[in-house]
Structure 1
Amino acid sequence: MNSFLFQLDQINTIASQILAEAANQTIFLFYGEMGAGKTTLIKAMAEALGIEGQASSPTFAIVNEYAGKSGPVYHFDFYRLKNQTEALDMGYEEYFYSGNYCFIEWPERIPDLLPLNYIEIHISANADSSRQITLVKI
């Protein structure tokens, strides 16, 4: 478990560090309150992976696909799911088990569908506008 305290202007460095520490892990679960910075961190991680163009939150689409240098990168936002069946209906397995990067916001909405191995990223905002990130490898 690693923990980082950083200001938002350091987010690109933190994103690169997270990817380096992840080694070959491609599934990332993002936990944090609304506005904590989950999407901002995912954007920085996507940029570190060479994603062309601006990554954006898939709040209404549920999943966005970005063209990366070494294959697609999938960004999920399960906040608006009513139940896990909606994730089943969209074919989540094809994404999660593709071997490609998957960045998953609000994974607590699909607790029974999570893969066996992933990295949890817990992010919180502090009163001084800094962010605290804790990484947990599962």
Structure 2
Amino acid sequence: MDLHTTSTTDLPKTAAEILKFAQDTRIFLFYGDMGAGKTTLIKSMSEALGVTDAVTSPTFSIVNEYEGSYGPVYHFDFYRLKDQSEAMDMGYEEYFYSGNYCFIEWPEKIADLLPDSYTGVHIKVINAHSRQITVENIS
């Protein structure tokens, strides 16, 4: 599925479309350059899931937990990981295989630890306000 946004006002609709496309998938991998809008899109997706907490990048804590209408929502940012053992030490499996929503930024840092089934979200910057978002279900 290909989506195009031209403003942050497009994001609630885009988030709803991605969640609908994913069907029952609860693991989402977000790919994109620094500043592409991964955290901003995750914020909209979290809001669509009933999260009322402030959604912020967990760059230093690695994972943030938010309470949503469908249970906990876990938001990961693996950008600062030196190697995959850091994810293993934090018990990533408990989160990934919990059945709860997991939004993962910089999944390429833990490529060998990723589940076999997930929804991939690739964000490409077109210009300051425009993004091309490609979404795929992998199983």
Shorter-normalised TM range: over 0.9
User: In terms of mean alpha carbon deviation, does 7-16 or 25-34 score higher?
Assistant: 7-16
Q: What residue number does 2:103 align with?
A: 103
Q: What residue number does 1:129 align with?
A: 129
Separation of aligned partners in 1, 2:128 and 2:113: 36
Letter in 2 for 1:15: A
Q: What residue number does 1:6 align with?
A: 5
Q: What residue number does 1:72 align with?
A: 72
Q: What residue number does 1:92 align with?
A: 92
Moved over 4 A (4+): none
- Count of aligned positions: 137
- For structure 2, list consecutive stretches of 5 or more residues without a partner in the other structure: none
Asked if the contact 1:57–1:77 (Cα under 8 Å) also holds between the matched residues in 2, the reply is yes
Deviations 1:81-119 (A, max 9, x none): 000000000000000000000000000000100001001
Deviation at 1:128, TM superposition (A): 5.3
- For structure 1, list consecutive stretches of 5 or more residues without a partner in the other structure: none
TM-score, normalised relative to structure 2: 0.96
Q: What residue number does 1:81 align with?
A: 81
Separation of aligned partners in 2, 1:128 and 1:66: 29
Cα RMSD after superposing both structures: 0.8
What's the % identity of the aligned pairs?
A: 61
The 5-angstrom pairing of residues 7-86 of structure 1 reads 7=6, 8-86=8-86
Deviation at 1:53, TM superposition (A): 2.1
TM-score, normalised relative to structure 1: 0.97
